[in-house]
Structure 1
Amino acid sequence: MQKTWRVAVIGRSGKGNYGHGLDVVWKDVPGVEVVAVADDNKSSLADALERTGAKRSYLNYKQMLAKEKPDIVSISQRWIDQHHEMAMEAAEQECHIYMEKPFTPTLREADEVIAALESKHLKLAIAHTTRYSPVIAKIREMVTAGEIGTLVEMRGRGKEDGRGGGEDLWVLGSHVLDMMRYFNGDVEACSARVFNEGHPITKEDVVAGNEGIGPLAGDTLFATYEFQNGIPGYFNSTRNPAGSPGRFGLTLFGSKGAIRMTTGYTMEAAILRNGTWSPHFSKAQWEPIKAEEKGHSGHGGGNHLAVLDLIRAINEDSQPICNMYDARAATEMIAAVFESHRQETRVEFPLENRENPLTMLS
């Protein structure tokens, strides 16, 4: 008989809520029973119970995990200040995990979560839902086939709204950095500078970041990543620049053209088949890249494929498409920006410093 997967959902209303649909995705997954939901905001529990279709509700997620013994726990809230604590408790209770990004505030916490999950042969999937888009899969096929020639560099930007700079890197840049690795593999080193109101950040610029990020600084940053295959990647973000937040995404530049893409499961993309990278110097135009969706649309579509893939990985004892190692790698790319600024030099991977570099600024 087919196994029925017992799923528990953790959210924190007012403190990251339930992420981008990580609470409701389970309702449409065959063979899944949502046994319980936990939220430390008592006034939100009744709504969460109805929304998720859970059988029971709890104010304390530890009590929920200990009593319900779920197979999978959805750590749904966007705030990351309790991601480590919740993931460690899930590991203790032998639960697999689907988690909202970003992963954890520090690399030390990421290392501890991974070690705990490895020790019990548990799986974790991170909600970088762009990975599951049929469009990004098609783009990788096009790049491999040489449709833009030889890949020479990648350029990513954040949304560059009021969160521009350090917060943009953490909250939204996580998607773009993961996309860079999807196309280019692992990072070897990073060189970066971070500024606040035009001057290099110092300890006086460090504040408590939003969404449980922890110590944070910078309204502008510039980062260069050296990938192991020798192809560079760049990530920049400036708070509220003149221009459209539509720059948020990644552009691949090749010897014969370029591909521009946004993020998310329903991402948009286009190819320019011209080595000057500018349609103004030729008759070439940006051509949309399309691919057939595999079911649901929006965040729901990406989450749906991600949790199906997580269940597949559990059954096969393999890793999900976007797993805990990918989650840590994106976190390391973020931390490397601040570590490079702190040391005023290029930093190599893996980073020796596993704590938040902003706590060590002079």
Structure 2
Amino acid sequence: MTRPYRVGVIGSTGRGGYGHRLDDCWLAEPRTEIVAVADDNKAGLAHATKRLGVDRGYTDYRKMIEETNPDIVAICPRWVDQHRDMALAAAERGIHIYMEKPFCPSLDQADEIVAACQQTHAKLAIAHPTRYSPKIATIKKLIADGAIGEVLEYRGRGKEDHRGGGEDLWVLGTHVMDMIRAIGGHPQWCFAIVSEEGDPVTAKNVVDGNEGLGPLAGDAIQAMYGMPDGSTAYFATHRKAGGNPSRYGLQIVGSKGILELLEGPLPPVKYLGDPSWSPGRSGAEWQNVSSAGIGEEEPLTDPLYRSRHGLAIRDLLAAIEEEREPIGGMEEARGATEMIVAVFESQRRGRPVDLPLKNRKHPLSMLG
């Protein structure tokens, strides 16, 4: 494409705003230009047009899409209750999408978005920055080369702050689930316990979640997943149980050691070459891992690798031009969402559930 990609930005001040700066990230990409912004809050819209340096502002995103016909729409709000409608408005016109996480609040909505994108060949990328990190390939190579031996477990945790439990699972767990899938593939089953003050949740515990999450329950979650290689993945979150430093992130535990991965486009990665998993026993020390390997200096110094969205945007543009799916595309977004929803489906049914889930409705709306 010789001309710049024309980007329409959708925000919603007071209802998720512009997420983790999904609006001004396009200014750093020379092959894109922001042509319009939509925000249903007039004050927020005025601020956004000035901040982004655009003349065309709309209070109705549908009108923006119709009148400007951008190549790409950035769906920025953190709140997910409008994600489906915003995505469908773009996808049905064949407009490509970059969307804030979480993807959407239920699998039936995820299915609608995927179907619409497939129908018009619109590309959709989700803002899971770790998925695009070159360190993912480094970790997979270290595992393949036997650095941690046989993979036994994936251990993920949320931030476990005031959002601990169901909200943490959605808001931060989506990153962890995507990390698990990026390295280990999609799970085959899930078994989970969702509790509130120590008791299994029931219909009386279901509330309308913050940030447009829809039905939500639980101040503690313990979930396990059967991985394709026979290992087990775990995710847990407990309200107000977070540490300082945080435990948020993912550990891949093997028979010979551990790899630890945090979130980001070039995130901290640590390696412990210790089959006991206990430096207190072995005297082993954690080592830094760069994109070049264990103990190596990081060769990637371009500011692009420090930008939360830069790698994702570059990959989306390449996916459009190469007619392929983005690295963090719609199926990856749906897969992370399915891992989250499976937690509540397992709780509803009181047993392990196979993936993909047969039930596409929100399990918490079906509790008796």
1:224-235 paired onto structure 2 within 5 Å: 224-235=224-235
TM-score (structure 2 length as normaliser): 0.95
CA 1:294 to 1:356, structure 2 compared with 1: closer, same or farther past 3 Å?
Answer: farther
How far off its partner does 1:208 sit? 0.6
CA 1:113 to 1:222, structure 2 compared with 1: closer, same or farther past 3 Å?
Answer: same
Residue number in structure 2 paired with 1:326: 332
How far off its partner does 1:294 sit? 5.4
CA distance in 2, matches of 1:194, 1:174: 17
Instruction: Flag structure 2 segments of 5+ consecutive residues without an equivalent.
Output: 292-297
1:36-47 paired onto structure 2 within 5 Å: 36-47=36-47
How far off its partner does 1:245 sit? 5.8
Moved more, 253-262 or 212-221: 253-262
Residue number in structure 1 paired with 2:294: none
- Say if 1:133 and 1:302, in contact at 8 Å, map to a contact too: no
CA distance in 2, matches of 1:183, 1:132: 12
Match of 2:23, SS state, is coil
How far off its partner does 1:210 sit? 0.5
CA distance in 1, matches of 2:54, 2:111: 32
Counterpart residue identity of residue 344, structure 1: G
Counterpart residue identity of residue 212, structure 2: G
CA distance in 2, matches of 1:145, 1:47: 51
Moved more, 286-295 or 274-283: 286-295
How far off its partner does 1:77 sit? 0.7
CA distance in 2, matches of 1:242, 1:18: 27
Deviation sequence 1:153-209 (CA, Å, 0-9, x none): 110000000000000000000000100011111111100010001110000000110
- Say if 2:271 and 2:289, in contact at 8 Å, map to a contact too: yes
Residue number in structure 2 paired with 1:202: 202
Counterpart residue identity of residue 70, structure 1: P
- Say if 2:93 and 2:120, in contact at 8 Å, map to a contact too: no
How far off its partner does 1:136 sit? 3.2
Counterpart residue identity of residue 211, structure 1: E
2:359 counterpart (348, 353, 356)? 353
CA distance in 2, matches of 1:137, 1:55: 41
- Say if 1:160 and 1:238, in contact at 8 Å, map to a contact too: yes
Residue number in structure 1 paired with 2:159: 159
Residue number in structure 2 paired with 1:66: 66
Q: Does 1:295 align with 2:299?
A: no
Moved more, 112-121 or 139-148: 139-148
How far off its partner does 1:323 sit? 0.4
Match of 1:289, SS state, is strand
1:1-362 paired onto structure 2 within 5 Å: 2-241=2-241, 243-244=243-244, 246-291=246-291, 292=298, 293=300, 295-296=302-303, 301-362=307-368
Match of 2:274, SS state, is coil
Counterpart residue identity of residue 216, structure 2: L
CA distance in 2, matches of 1:163, 1:245: 17
Aligned residues: 361
How far off its partner does 1:264 sit? 1.6
CA distance in 2, matches of 1:160, 1:52: 34
How big is the alpha-carbon RMSD for the aligned residues of Structure 1 and Structure 2? 1.4
Counterpart residue identity of residue 296, structure 1: P
Instruction: Flag structure 1 segments of 5+ consecutive residues without an equivalent.
Output: none
- Say if 1:266 and 1:297, in contact at 8 Å, map to a contact too: no
CA distance in 2, matches of 1:256, 1:173: 27
Moved more, 318-327 or 41-50: 41-50
- Say if 2:160 and 2:242, in contact at 8 Å, map to a contact too: no
Moved more, 146-155 or 329-338: 146-155
Deviation sequence 1:189-239 (CA, Å, 0-9, x none): 100010001110000000110010001000001000112221110000000
CA 1:5 to 1:243, structure 2 compared with 1: closer, same or farther past 3 Å?
Answer: closer
